Amino acid sequence: MTPVVRHLGEVDYLKTWQDMQAFTDARDEASADELWFLQHPPVYTLGKNGKVEHILNPQDIPVVNSDRGGQVTYHGPGQIVVYTLLDLNRLKIGVRELVTLIEQSVIDLLADYGVSSSARRDAPGVYVNDAKIAALGLRVRKGCSFHGLALNVDMDLEPFSRINPCGYEGLEVTRLKDIIKDIEIRSVADDLQQQLLNKFAL
């Protein structure tokens, strides 16, 4: 069963999070999986076990306490966010394999652009020359995942300097636009969609 793909545009984080929870609570064994592609207005989100001290100087950017895994991260326009609403039991995969499949989708996407990247076992996400280009944060309930992936394409990276990204002091963050000058976020989203569908279509 191929996941349903929704392109939601720029949407509020809190409302989208509530929609993910409602979708997960309402689904059953027959419900199709879904991938939500979107962007968020500027917001910091703190994971379920995140430490507030990693938020250094949020200034005017709101902070939302989320139920995903991981520490603090930043979302803003120019970043592709993909929420992976998947029935892991039906896919016959666990959380670690889900993380690996999502990371590999980004690694394969970047490889198609001629960009070498890698994952790190100790710090989920995708890195280009030790700089983080994609972050992951997931939650699993009733055997189903929600939250997902954030890929930095053509966004303002300055807000990352006001936090310890993903709980790592001094972690460098990068974006695709700094590596490939003529990149367009829509085409990246389309290519990422194909990578994810290749990984999760049954």
Total-model pTM: 0.97
Among 83, 3, 95, 103, CA closest to 37: 83
Q: Are 20 and 51 in contact (CB under 8 A)?
A: no
Domain hosting 133: range is 4-200
Q: For 11-41, what is each residue's pLDDT tens digit?
A: 999 999 999 999 999 999 999 999 999 999 9
The distance from CA 129 to its chain's CA centroid, rounded to whole angstroms, is: 19
Q: Is 144 a catalytic residue?
A: no
Rounded Cα distance, 34 and 5, in Å = 6
Q: Is 38 helix (H, G, I), strand (E, B) or coil?
A: strand
The distance from CA 59 to its chain's CA centroid, rounded to whole angstroms, is: 23
**CATH number of the domain within which 83 lies:** 3.30.930.10
Q: For 114-130, what is each residue's pLDDT tens digit?
A: 999 999 988 899 999 99
Q: For 139-186, what is each residue's pLDDT tens digit?
A: 999 999 999 999 999 999 999 999 999 999 999 999 999 999 999 999
Among 81, 144, 166, 173, the one annotated catalytic: 166
Residues recorded for the chain: 202
Q: Beta 126-128 vs 34-39: how paired, if at all?
A: unpaired
Structural domain count, the chain? 1
Among 150, 30, 36, 15, CA closest to 85: 36
Q: For 45-103, what is each residue's pLDDT tens digit?
A: 999 989 999 999 999 999 999 999 999 999 999 999 999 999 999 999 999 999 999 99
